Structure 1
Amino acid sequence: MGRGGRSRTQRKHFRQNRENEWKRSKSDPNASETQTTPWTPFATANPSFDAYYKEQAVVAPDEWDQFVAFLRTPLPASFRINSSSLFADDLRSQLENDFVHSLRAVVPEGVETEAIRPLPWYPGNFAWHSNFSRMQLRKNQTLEKFHEFLKLENEIGNITRQEAVSMVPPLFLDVHPDHFVLDMCAAPGSKTFQLLEIIHQSTKAGSLPDGMVIANDLDVQRCNLLIHQTKRMCTANLIVTNHEAQNFPGCRLNRNHEQMELDHHINQLLFDRVLCDVPCSGDGTLRKAPDLWRKWNSGMGHGLHSLQVLIAMRGLSLLKIGGRMVYSTCSMNPIENEAVVAEVLRRCGGSVKLVDVSSELPQLIRRPGLKKWKVYDKSTWFVSYKDVPKFRGGAILPGMFPSGRLDNSNRNVDMGDIANGANGNAEDCIQAVENPVMPESVEEVSDLPLEHCMRIVPHDQNTGAFFIAVLQKVSPLPAIQEKPKIDVGGKCAEPANHSLQDAQVLQINSSECADEEILEEASEENVNDNEPDTEDLEVSPVPNEEDSKETEEPHNVQNVEKKIPGKRKLQIQGKWRGVDPVVFFKDEAIISSIRDFYGIDEKFPFSGHLVTRNDDTSHVKRIYYISKSVKDVLQLNLSVGQQLKITSVGLKMFERQTARQGSDAPCAFRISSEGLPLILPYITKQILQASPADFKRILQDKDVKFDDFADAEFGKNVANLLPGCCVLTLAKGNEVATESLKVDESTIAIGCWRGKTRLTVMVTAMDCQELLERLLIRLDTENGSNGHVDKSSINASEVQPLPELNGGNEDDVKATVS
């Protein structure tokens, strides 16, 4: 669940250091040993929680004990293999043939017989469930090898550690490689990564899919998590933006601009698919965040209901006709789930339908959505809005009830009575209506097909809890006349539908009439296992991609004139102060030097596909590559006044070599490790094929003299290269190509630096370790070896700065063994 709503209250919420681990608190370092406070486990019971969900009948009464028992146990770790990774099949084979067998001896008592197993409903055995919690993986010495495997592959980007139920929403989006996809509340990025995987799944070497993903999040620091997560995907088909989800820009050209000479192919930013994973109370994550037991109260969902409706409506307004939107939460509360879906369907009339996806992913155990529920407020259960006291009309809305009807004909308390007081005493009257004697009301049952929604409960498949609804837009949204808001006791209520037109950018007031304290209690997104929780969300700087210094981000456009202290000139992207600009790179001299040095084939499109994040193109440090779809969106964004606030875009392709030794190279720019797989099939110069022995040698030693390679001819070929960046590919078998190199999806390549007398690898120590692991498993197995890597030769504690590139500003040329 991402953050899509009210920035001020969310920043307050994230400053709270919410415990999200079943772990022992660190003792006070200043306390004496005799004064150590004994550790007490988290409370895993809350009478209010039990009473609320028993009344809502989220599970049958005879299942309640089993349901709660699962909620009180730690969540098993789960992870997903990046199916577009070069080593995806190798990783799956290692899990199936190695870890499945080696971990059987450490299965905890009383659980399943299998230590790890593929999730049966996830395609291709690419998602896995383990019967170990995150704490067990860290603390159990027997699991050390498996834990190291997870950490390394996650950091490299070959796997993503992600809660199992969090993997479900993207699967129901039915994403195709040519789709434009919007992830409205995307941080920390595990679902975005999944969407990118699907788009890239059938892509061939050197090509890009026609689709793209825009990943948005409200908070800048969470955008940083999102960028870090998706950076491992190495994609040119992603834009990361920083907006309130309910106010996401529509970027629509008016008629006067439609004939502009810009080479754009779209005149409005609409999407084929929208993922609407909204902010929620998060009580479906109790197994992962046990501290929520203490904090939980029924009002948490009430405070977020209006925001969730607004975000969902905005997503539908940005959706193409025929497109699909998935609405999801990690909450069990029907006020945040079925009530939101029902209200959205009512507002949209017949233009949106709830899709029955019961035949999709048949092995995923899910339960139908609720058709009836109640609303709890101030110690009272309400079954109809007509029973809600008028003075609570600002907190309890008609849309929270199954029928969604606004009926003032039979309200129990008149505001005039409250103002005048009962029997002359206003306090007595207010006290009386807080626990009113309710008349007999008929419990409402929704007439909408809410059974098509999906509820995932913990004890069905040993997971967290989740809610999912799949919506399809079948016609334009109706232009509904906005009715005036009702003034109730000085507070505003929202009884009416907002006018939502597809072709308009909605300026929705985010100051919803929800209780600030309730919103502060709203639970944070069930953050990916490997990502730290964000604790401080004050107005934060957007990281400058050019020099890694920080700039201040404004809260709105009016802050442009505000003087902000800093050591350098503040960057501006259009109207967004403090954000690096997005500039199309058109320096033909630099582009020609890169083409000539690497012999890049003319078939590889450069024109219009290179961007930088610096207005001063004469001092560009990094050049990013963008796909055609991203190019079209950027051109549209420029033509509409840069309505999109872009924090990250494109794939880092070239980086200026700033080290002293780099000044001797004919080309000032080296190929980035991130961009190498894309451009590899088009490189005809500065590229060599190495035998498995020499390839392993350069990975292990990091720095090899020309004369020290096993293949003397290969050493001579390296010496004949021009000084500077070069590329090594791994030969298949022991036959090294002497003429043209053939590159395909399985080709393994690394960037290197050809110095005066030696070749130095330009890959991080972690990447080297991963490549060695993969290669030795592949190659040494053929020789009867167990494929185990001697990690002492690549111990991270022994790495030192690269001798020839020391002093540079490279972030992927980090280390070598001394």
Structure 2
Amino acid sequence: MGGRRGSRTQRKHFKQSRENVWKRPKTDSSSDPNNPNSHNQAWQPFATQNPSFDEYYKEQGIVSPEEWDAFMEMLRKPLPAAFRINSTSQFCEDIRSQLENDFMKSLQAEAIEGGDLEPIKPLPWYPDNLAWQSNFSRMQIRKNQTLERFHEFLKLETEIGNISRQEAVSMVPPLFLDVHPHHFVLDMCAAPGSKTFQLLEIIHHSAKGGTLPDAMVLANDLDVQRCNLLIHQTKRMCTANLIVTNHEGQHFPGCRSHKNISNGSEINKLEQSITQLLFDRVLCDVPCSGDGTLRKAPDIWRKWNGGMGNGLHCLQIHIAMRGLSLLKVGGRMVYSTCSMNPVENEAVVTEILRRCGGSVELVDVSSELPQLIRRPGLRKWKIRDKGVWLASYTDVRKFHINGIVPSMFPSGRNYVDPTDNNQKSENGEDVNTEDGVQPDDPISSANNLEEEVSDLPLERCMRIIPHDQNTGAFFIAVLHKVSHLPAIQDKSVSSQGNLSTRNDGLRENLLDQATGEINGLEGSSADGTDEKILEVASEADEKISEVASEADEKISEVALEADLVDGGPDGVTLETISSEAAQAPADKKIDSAKAGEKRKLQIQGKWRGVDPVLFFKDEAIINSIKTFYGIDESFPFSGHLVTRNSETNHVKRIYYVSKSVKDVLELNFRVGQQMKITSVGLKMFERQSSREGSSAPCSFRISSEGLPVILPYVTKQILYASPADFKHLLQYKTIKFADFVDAEFGQKAANLMLGCCVIVLGEGGKSLSDHIQADASTIAIGCWKGRASLSVMVAAIDCQELLERLSARMETEKGTLAQENHGELDEKQDISGENGTSLEEHNVEAQKIQDITE
């Protein structure tokens, strides 16, 4: 969430170290009763009040004076726990049924009997009862058997990936993205990964059963450690449609491939491949001060001050603008924070709309998710810094306050005092009044504190307030890109950063417009005017290269002067500098040998500390896998396998990527690997390193994560098992062939080749000879066929969860069958007087049926 990122970002941008509240001083004075760190002092809970907080938000009018007490009372209460059911899980229906018919009803009954328990309940605004909320203390869990069972259930299903714990309001932004099965989605600040997981659920749930969706999610985060957390979270999803990258959001690479259109065949190539990495949907959940998470992180009460949001305002604008530049025309971006501060919310949205000049509009989503209680965005607010209230930018100059920029105010205007001829703007340039704005008197403005009011439709933004529905606080704005962005110059950064940002923005926006023109030309190629289109498109492409070269030239000079070649920012790559050197005039060219060395370094993808991403093309290994498992030819293998090891003989894992991810990887190679990829693809095959495994015909086994994807295409090394034998495999892990309940199955297993095999749970009346037709509902596990036994290759926790799910299903089926049998017995008992059949005989028959089901 944004709040967690906020503390990290503040440390970086404010250059302040975070106070360690747990560290005791070196001098041990635990016996001193006056020492706050004394052992004799009783534990004190976190303070849940801050006078600065009260003053700030009362003045901003976040809530009405009449509801202020209710607002504050809710902020001081612990936050209820919330979780989502993974809609793509095989056991989604089972889990939802267990929550509705077991836990919820049991807790409701205990609450009616006079207990102090609150029953769990689904969130009314989340579709299909897939999101739930519970509110129990640890003490209640320890004392109540039902709660303890529920707690263990949550832990197990969360670790497996069938359930994701996530704050309720954090689930809202992805729902407003309106993601479709074919969309490319960018999550700009993705860690810890709850929203990314949610986006992956949406694209997989909307895909056809048993097939990979055409959509793709690219999840990015600035912090490497948090990228690892993101990878761990999304790994439970088992998806081939995800790329995880490690970049600053405001400098996320554009990955634009400049291709000259020379003939008709080239048009077809352009239609078949991506030439620029643009996205249909962008989630921009930016770093923020995080005061919307006070109920979850009460230590924020102590640290909070009115200037926390001011230091993040410009960063949030830059990240949002970068997201819009990467968004396709017609696409949708959701901007969100877990902050209540209008400086981080409405002020950022206002500046975005102002800069985009009509190319982006706020979307009215008031009719979507009607049961979600939300409030409209504010149209007026003030700025507070160093204990001073500022109503307009005039007051900033009056009090000589640094760090406050015009975009923080509702109007965004830069007022000027005409009596000060030496007045400078924030970037050090002379101030003028060419925009026609008449300067105000700073003294009168400061005294009157007359508030500015925005003329933009900010009421279309959403504010979620804690006491409306017992949640945290959140801010959401939905933006629609209606046309290409205009060329924008940013004047709110330092001189060096200003040059880089301005030229980067200029390049991105000019290329954005030119790409749109080319797309329009390509779209009209069916009219029989191909030659003319090719000529115009070629000229347009040359113009793009010329503009890009001119803008990049300045950026490369800045990068070289700052000596950022080895470990420079993500926005200035070595490949970019090298290409600019080649395009520069003779008097400005960089040393050719040095440029060539940098280009070679970049093409190899030598991101520091990150393994390379390479397409796996060892035909001998691929053919051995295909032959051993009888992989059907319809399964797309070519170009879909990747590895992170350049030495084929040492490859331990082979990953599988979807068509959409494959296209993006190919584009990334064409542009010199501008993206720093930390994780990609679904682990499909793993090298078997044991002594017995090295003697198997195929040295790679199918991984548990990749099995559901490849299962419908496996025709060899695969068998049906009866429910009894399947259950025994999960229980005992290793079973000798002669010990299986079904002797025929044991014989078939013994006849398999040495190595990995797949065992499918047989259902209904299917016999072992039936042709296996797997789909999304098929339950299967990977096993190792040894010389004398069959061993399960599934983690212990997965075996435990699968056993519990199967046992629950069998109990349900047994109960259903028992009810049917009971009805039949009643019916037969009614007619027994007529035909002379005894009740005892019917009971014997029912017992036989029950024995069979067990």
User: What's the CA shift string for 1:40-65, capped at 9, x where partnerless?
Assistant: 11100000000100000100101000
Equivalent residue number for residue 400 of structure 1: 408
1:599 aligned to 2:607?
A: no
Is the contact made by 1:5 and 1:244 (CA closer than 8 Å) also made in structure 2? Answer: no
Relative distance call for 1:206 and 1:782 in structure 2 (3 A) is: closer
Q: Which moved more, 1:182-191 or 1:375-384?
A: 375-384
| 1:89 equivalent in alignment to 2:93 | yes
Q: 2:709 is aligned with what amino acid? A: L
1:680 corresponds to which of 711, 714, 730: 711
The yes-or-no answer on 1:707 pairing with 2:738 is yes
What pairs up with 1:465-484 in 2 under 5 angstroms?
Answer: 465-481=473-489
Counterparts in 2 of 1:54 and 1:136: CA distance versus 1, 3 Å: farther
- Residues 454 and 301 (structure 1), Cα distance of their counterparts in 2 relative to 1, 3 Å cut: same
Alpha-carbon distance change, 85 to 74 in structure 1, aligned in 2, over 3 angstroms: same
Q: Hey, what's the Cα distance between the residues in 2 that align with 1:134 and 1:253?
A: 55
Which of 41, 50, 57 lines up with 1:53 in the alignment?
57
Alignment partner, residue 340 of structure 1: 348
Q: 1:758 aligns with which of 774, 785, 789?
A: 789
Structure 2 counterpart of 1:266: 274
SS of the aligned residue for 1:312 comes to helix
Q: Does 1:209 align with 2:213?
A: yes
The answer to whether structure 1 residue 286 and structure 2 residue 306 are counterparts is no
Q: Secondary structure at the match of 1:455?
A: strand
Q: Does 1:161 find its partner at 2:165?
A: yes
Structure 2 residue aligned with 1:609: 640
Is 1:717 equivalent to 2:743 in the alignment? no
1:249 paired residue number: 253
Q: 1:485 to 1:340 in 2, by over 3 A?
A: closer
Structure 1 residues 346-361: aligned runs within 5 Å = 346-361=354-369
Residues paired across the two proteins, number? 712
Gaps of 5+ in 2: 32-37, 425-441, 513-547, 556-565, 576-600, 819-854
Q: Alpha carbons of 1:600 and 1:486: their partners in 2 closer, same or farther (altered >3 Å)?
A: closer
1:439 aligns with 2:441: no
Shift of 1:744: 1.6
Residue in structure 1 matched with residue 655 of structure 2 by the alignment: 624
Counterpart of 2:701 (choices 643, 654, 670) is 670
SS at match of 1:783: helix
Q: 1:286/1:765 Cα in 2 relative to 1: closer, same or farther (>3 Å)?
A: same
User: Matches of 1:114 and 1:8 in 2, distance apart?
Assistant: 38
Residues 291-321 of structure 1: CA deviation (Å, up to 9, x unaligned): 0000001111000000000000000000000
2:195 is matched with which residue?
A: 191
The one-letter amino acid of 2:365's match is V
**Contact (CA 8 Å) 1:571, 1:580: kept in 2 or not?**
no
Describe the shift of the 1:786–1:69 C-alpha distance in structure 2 as closer, same or farther (beyond 3 A): farther
Match of 1:117 in 2: 121
Whether the aligned pair in 1 keeps the contact of 2:488 and 2:502 (CA below 8 Å) is no
Instruction: Classify the secondary structure of the residue corresponding to 1:648.
Output: strand
Offset of 1:13 from its aligned partner? 8.9
In structure 2, the CA distance between the partners of 1:323 and 1:209, relative to structure 1 (3 Å rule), is same
Q: Return the letter of the residue paired with 1:338.
A: E
Do the aligned residues in 1 keep the contact of 2:334 with 2:476 (CA within 8 Å)?
yes
For each residue in 1:467-492, what CA deviation from the matched residue of structure 2 results, as whole angstroms up to 9, or x when unmatched? 000000000001135569799xxx99
User: Does residue 771 in structure 1 map to residue 775 in structure 2?
Assistant: no
AA matched with 2:720? Q
Q: Check if 1:746 corresponds to 2:777.
A: yes
Residues 1:410 and 1:773: Cα distance change in structure 2 (over 3 Å): farther
1:807 maps to none
Is the partner of 1:647 in helix, strand or coil?
strand
**In the alignment, does 2:724 pair up with 1:693?**
yes
**Structure 1 position 253, deviation (Å):** 1.0
Task: Classify 1:7/1:43 alpha carbon distance in 2 versus 1 (closer, same or farther; 3 Å).
Answer: closer
Aligned 8 A contact 1:180 1:213 in 2? yes
Distance 1:250 1:55, change over 3 A: same
CA-CA distance at 1:496 after TM superposition? 13
Q: Which amino acid aligns with 1:451?
A: E
For residues 601-659 of structure 1, give each alpha carbon's deviation from its aligned partner in whole angstroms, at most 9, with x where no partner exists.
00001000000001112221100000000000000000001000000000000000001
Shift of 1:737: 3.7
Q: What is the distance in 2 between the residues matched to 1:180 and 1:111?
A: 49
Supply the AA of the counterpart residue of 1:761.
V
TM-score, with length taken from structure 2: 0.77
Alignment identity in percent?
68
Deviations 1:202-252 (A, max 9, x none): 334441111100000001000000000001100000000000000000000
After the TM superposition, which of the residue ranges 44-53 and 376-385 deviates more from structure 2? 376-385
Please give the residue correspondences for 1:185-584 in structure 2 after superposition, counting only pairs within 5 Å.
185-256=189-260, 265-389=273-397, 392=400, 394-409=402-417, 438-481=446-489, 499=506, 501=509, 503=511, 574-584=605-615
Which one-letter code corresponds to 1:9 in the other structure? R
Q: Residues of 2 paired with 1:194 and 1:14: CA distance?
A: 34
Task: Find the counterpart in structure 1 of residue 177 from structure 2.
Answer: 173
Alignment partner of 2:794: what SS?
coil
Q: Structure 1 residue 36: deviation in Å?
A: 4.5
Q: Structure 1 residue 588 and structure 2 residue 619: aligned? A: yes
Q: Is the 8 A contact 2:117 2:136 kept in 1?
A: no
Q: Secondary structure at the match of 2:132?
A: strand
- Between the aligned partners of 2:483 and 2:393, the Cα distance in structure 1 is 30
Q: Is the alpha carbon distance of 1:438 and 1:110 closer, same or farther for their aligned partners in structure 2, counting shifts above 3 Å?
A: farther
Paired with 2:797 and 2:804, the residues of 1 have a C-alpha distance of 11
**Which of the two has greater helix per residue?**
2
Identify the match of residue 64 of structure 1 among 49, 61, 68.
68
TM-score normalised by the chain length of structure 1 = 0.80
Match of 1:732 in 2: 763
The Cα shift of 1:664 comes to 2.2
Q: Per-residue CA shift, 1:762-814, capped at 9, x if unaligned? A: 00010001101110000123234999xxxxxxxxxxxxxxxxxxxxxxxxxxx
Pairwise CA RMSD: 3.8
Q: Is the contact made by 2:11 and 2:17 (CA closer than 8 Å) also made in structure 1?
A: no
Q: Does the C-alpha gap of structure 1 residues 14 and 302 become closer, same or farther in structure 2, counting only changes over 3 Å?
A: closer
**Distance of 2:29 and 2:761 partners within structure 1:** 55
Say which SS state the counterpart of residue 103 (structure 1) adopts. helix
**In the aligned structure 2, how far is the partner of 1:134 from the partner of 1:462?**
19
Cα 1:19–1:680 change in 2 (3 A) is farther
SS at structure 2 position matched to 1:274: strand
How far apart, CA to CA, are the structure 2 residues paired with 1:631 and 1:162? 30
Provide the C-alpha distance between the structure 1 equivalents of 2:123 and 2:420, rounded to a whole number of angstroms: 52
Determine if contact 2:14/2:311 at 8 Å carries over to the other structure: no
Q: What are structure 1's unaligned runs of at least 5 residues?
A: 417-433, 510-551, 561-569, 788-818
In the aligned structure 2, how far is the partner of 1:484 from the partner of 1:462? 39
Give how far 1:168 is off: 0.1
1:17 deviation in Å? 8.0
Give the 3-state SS of the residue equivalent to 1:608 in structure 2. coil
| Structure number with larger C-alpha Rg | 2
The answer as to whether partners of 1:553 and 1:578 remain within 8 angstroms in 2 is: no
| 2:125 partner amino acid | W
Aligned CA distance change for structure 1 residues 678 and 176 (closer, same or farther; 3 Å): same
Cα offset, 1:389, TM superposition: 2.3
Matched residues in 2 for 1:264 and 1:641: separation?
20
Relative distance call for 1:391 and 1:189 in structure 2 (3 A) is same
Q: Which moved more, 1:635-644 or 1:735-744?
A: 735-744
Mean CA deviation greater in 467-476 or 127-136: 127-136
Whether the 8 Å contact between 1:82 and 1:159 is mirrored in structure 2 is yes
Higher RCO (C-alpha under 8 Å, 6+ residues apart): 1
Q: Distance in 2 between matches of 1:5 and 1:149?
A: 33
